[in-house]
Structure 1
Amino acid sequence: MKILITSGGTTEKIDSVRGITNHATGSLGKHIAEIFLEKGYQVTLVTTKQAVKPNEHPLLTVHTITNVESLLTTLEPLVKNHDVFIHSMAVSDYTPVYMTGLSEVESAHRVSDLLQRHNTETKISSKDDYQVLFLKKTPKVISLVNTWNPDITLIGFKLLVGVSKEELFAIARKSLQKNKARYIVANDLTEIDENHHHAYMLDESNVYEADTKESIASLIFERVTNHD
C-alpha cells in the first residue's frame, strides 16, 4: 500500500517579494508520514519549502511545491499511482489577479476591465496609501481526486472557526459525500494550539475523536490500515 500525503500551506504570489499564505506549519502531516514510515509503508510527501518534514528515510519521497498551480501539476500523476491520499495541506482558496492603487479603481469605467490586467513589475510600488488587490478562486484540489483515481482511499480535512460541533459535523459530512472521501478529519481552529489539537474523524456513520496531532496521526493510521 502506497501512501500519499500533503502538508504545509501554499503561497500565492502577488509579486516577486509579496505573497498570500497561511499559518500551516506541516507538523500534522509530518506526524502522519512518520507513523506510516515507522510501520514500513512507502510514503510520498507533497509539501512546501517552509513546512517541517520527517527526517530522511529510505521509504520517503518528498516533492516540494509553492502554489496551487504547482500542487495540481505535482499531484495528478501521484494520485493516479497511490492507494491512499491523506490531504492535510492548507490550500489557498484564492490567487492574486491584479493589484493597483485605489485611484485607478475609482477612475476605471468598469471593474471587469481591471480584471483583464496583470502586474508586470518585479515589485509593485508602495507609493499609494491604499492598494486594491483582485483575487480569483483557485480549483478545489480535493474535488479533483476522484476524477484522477476513483479507486484511491481519500482522507480529507475540514477546518472551521468558532462553530458548533453539529455544524462542523454537517459540513464535514457534506464534503465527505461530495468528494467521495473515505474519511474527513474535522477540526475547529479555536481548539488548536501548540500542545492541543482537538479533531474528529468522520465517515458516513461513525465519529472518532483525538486530542493531539500525534493521536490524530495514530487514528488515521489505524483507520487506513484497518481497510488495507
Structure 2
Amino acid sequence: MQRLYRKRIVLGVGGGIAAYKSAELVRRLRDQGAEVRVVMTRAGREFITPLTLQALSSHPVHLDLLDPAAEAAMGHIELARWADLVLVAPATADLMARLAQGTADDLLTTLALATDAPVALAPAMNQAMWRDPATQANVALLQSRGMRLFGPGAGSQACGDVGPGRMLEPDELALVAADCFRSGLLSGRHLLVTAGPTQENIDPVRYITNHSSGKMGFALAEAAAEAGARVTLVSGPVHLPTPDRVERVDVVSARDMLAACEAAMPCDLLIAAAAVADYRPEVVAPHKLKKDPSTVDGMLLRMVRNPDILATLANRPDRPFSVGFAAETENLLEYATRKLLDKNLDLIIANDVANPSIGFNAEDNAVSVIDRAQHETRFGQASKGHIARQLVAFIADRFLKA
C-alpha cells in the first residue's frame, strides 16, 4: 500500500519557473494514493495554467480568497480543516517573506494561517536570492514556527546560475511529504484499537447494530502505525481498507470482539473506539422469524447485557494505558467523565454524534479529551485522519509520562 494512501494534501503553487514541476508533483502524490487539492497564487498562474493542475488533480483549482463559488463549496477555512498537509511548491522568496510576516492577502497565505495541519515549503529561487540575509532570516523564522523545509537542491538554474535554490524533484518531494506522517513516538509499543459497530443476531437474517462506520478507529490505527507502534485493529463489520502495517482482526458480535481483544493481550496501550452493542437478544432464533397474525401489537424481544469490553480490559492485572470513547447526543462532558471514572480509564475521548458534520459516517470530527483530573483538552473540527494524528500524539505524551 502507498505511503501517502488516503492523505489529504493541499498543494500551494507559487510564482516561480519551478511551477512546471508542480504538475508532475501532483501525479507523484496521487500515485502514492494521496488526494490533492491545488491552490495557486496569482503569480503562479503566470507560469502554469489552472486547467493543467485541475486535469491532473481531478479537482477544481482554488484561486482567489474572495471567490463566492469557492466559499460556497470549499473556501479557505474548509480547505484548512480538510488538509492533512499543506505543501507549498514552489515556495518563492516573496511567498516565504509574506508567510514570515503572517500576511493573509491571498488564498494561500490565509490558508497557511488558518490550518492546524503541518505546513512544508519547497524553496525555489535564484541562488543569490536564496543566500540573501533577508531570505535566510525568513527561513529561520518560519522553521522556528514549525514549518518544514524541503530543500532546496543545488545545481544549474533557469537563469544560468549554478548553486543552491533549485526546487527538489517531484519524486523527492513525494518521499519527504510521506515522512511528515511518521513520528516514531510509539516505536516498540503494542497498541490495540477497537473500531466499528458490533452486530447482535436476532435470527439468521436480522441483527441489531448501530451507525458506526469505523472511520475514526481506522484513522487512529493508521496514525498509531505511523507513530511506530505495532498495531492490532479489532474491527466489527465495516467497509474500509486495512491501514498499512496494521494487523486486522475481523469480528461480528461484542462477545467476539472481547475474545479477540483478550487474545491480543498484553498490549501497552488500548484505544477503544468501537461502538459496542450494550445488549443482545437473549435467544437467537435458529430460523427466520415470521410475522405472527395473533400478535397485531408487535413482538417482544428480550435483551440481555453484553460484556463490557472496555471495563474488562482496563481492569485486568496487566491493564494497558486505557483510552475510551464516549459517543453521546447530550450532556457530552458529564456522561464522558462518568464513563472515565466508572471504567477505570486513563483518558476518554468525547464525541458529539448528534452533530451530523462530525457524527457517525462523517469525514470530519471534533472531540474533547478528558483525563483523570477531569481536565478537558479540545481538538477542533478537522478530518478524522488529522484528528487521529493529533490524538495519537496527545495519548503518546500522556502514556510516556504515566
* TM-score interval (norm. to shorter): 0.7 to 0.9
Confirm whether residue 221 of structure 1 aligns to residue 392 of structure 2.
Answer: yes
The counterpart of 1:85, out of the listed 270, 281, 289, is 270
What is the match of residue 377 of structure 2? 208
Given that 2:201 and 2:208 are in contact with CA atoms closer than 8 Å, whether structure 1 keeps it comes out as yes
Equivalent pair of 1:76/1:148 in contact (CA under 8 Å)? no
**Is the counterpart of residue 177 in structure 1 residue 362 in structure 2?**
no
RMSD of the alignment, in Å? 1.9
Which letter does structure 1 place at the counterpart of 2:291?
S
What does 1:104-183 align with in structure 2 at a 5 Å threshold?
119-120=285-286, 122-128=287-293, 129=296, 130-161=298-329, 163=330, 167-183=331-347
* Structure whose CA Rg is larger: 2
Residues 1:46 and 1:23: Cα distance change in structure 2 (over 3 Å): same
Alignment length (residue pairs):
201
Cα–Cα, structure 1 residues 205 and 134, in superposed 2: closer, same or farther, change >3 Å? closer
- Relative contact order (C-alpha < 8 Å, sep 6+): which is higher? 1
Q: Which of the numbers 184, 200, 212 marks the counterpart of 1:24?
A: 212
AA aligned to 2:198 is: T
Where 2:282 maps in the other structure, the secondary structure is: strand
Cα deviations by residue, 1:171-193 (Å, 9 ceiling, x for unpaired): 21222122221110012212243
Distance 2:366 2:356 in 1: 6
Deviation at 1:77, TM superposition (A): 2.8
Over 3 Å counting, the alpha-carbon distance change for 1:41 and 1:207 in structure 2 is same
Q: Displacement, 1:142?
A: 1.4
Pair 206,215 (structure 1): closer, same or farther in 2 beyond 3 Å: farther
* C-alpha distance in 2 between matches for 1:187 and 1:174: 14
C-alpha spacing 1:75/1:27, structure 2 compared with 1 (3 Å): same
Distance in 2 between the 1:69 and 1:151 partners?
A: 19
Query: 4+ residue runs of structure 1 moved beyond 6 angstroms?
Result: none
Q: Flag the structure with higher helix content.
A: 2
Alignment partner, residue 111 of structure 1: none
SS of 1:208's partner is strand
Aligned to 2:352: 188
Compute the displacement of 1:127 (Å).
Answer: 4.3
The match for 1:68 among 254, 266, 290 is 254
Q: Residue type of the partner of 1:146?
A: A
- Residue 42 to residue 16, structure 1, CA distance change in 2 (3 Å): same
Give 5+ residue unaligned stretches, structure 1: 99-117
State the partner residue of 2:113.
none
Helix, strand or coil at the partner of 1:29: helix
Match of 1:50 among 202, 214, 238: 238
Shift of 1:207: 1.5
Q: What CA distance in whole angstroms lies between the structure 2 residues aligned with 1:8 and 1:53?
A: 13
Relative to the length of structure 2, the TM-score reads: 0.47
Is the Cα contact below 8 Å between 1:27 and 1:53 reproduced in 2? no
**What do residues 101-132 of structure 1 show as CA deviations (whole Å, max 9, x unaligned)?**
xxxxxxxxxxxxxxxxx634x21113444322
User: Aligned pair 1:3/2:191, yes or no?
Assistant: yes
Alignment equivalent of 1:13, drawn from 201, 206, 216: 201
Q: CA deviation at 1:151?
A: 3.8
Residues 314 and 344 in structure 2, CA contact (< 8 A), matched pair in contact too: yes
Partner letter of residue 290 of structure 2?
S
Q: Distance in 1 between matches of 2:347 and 2:258?
A: 21
How far apart are 1:90 and its partner, in Å? 0.3
CA 1:209–1:119: 2 relative to 1, 3 Å: same
Give the deviation of 1:37 after TM superposition: 1.5
Shift of residue 72, structure 1, vs aligned partner = 1.5
